[in-house]
Amino acid sequence: MPDLGKYGDTVMSAYAASILLLVLLVLVSLWRGRRVRAEMKRIEERMSNNG
C-alpha cells in the first residue's frame, strides 16, 4: 500500500465504511430475497389449492 501520509486514516476509514455498506447491502438483499421467495411460495400454494 502506498504511503498516504496524513490522509491514511481518512482513506482507510473510507475503505472500511465502503466495505461495511457493501456487506450490509448484500445481507439485506439476501434477506429480502428469502422473504419474497417465501411469499411467492405461499401464493402459489394458495392458487394451486383453489384451482
pLDDT of residue 51: 62
Query: How far apart are the C-alpha atoms of 29 and 36, rounded to whole Å?
Result: 10
Query: How far apart are the C-alpha atoms of 43 and 49, rounded to whole Å?
Result: 10
With a threshold of 0.85, does the pTM exceed it?
Answer: no
Say whether 51 sits in a helix, a strand or coil: coil
pLDDT of residue 49: 86
| Residue 44 CB-density burial (10 A; 0-12 exposed, 13-18 middle, 19+ buried) | exposed
The yes-or-no verdict on residue 2 having pLDDT over 80 is: no
Say whether 39 sits in a helix, a strand or coil: helix
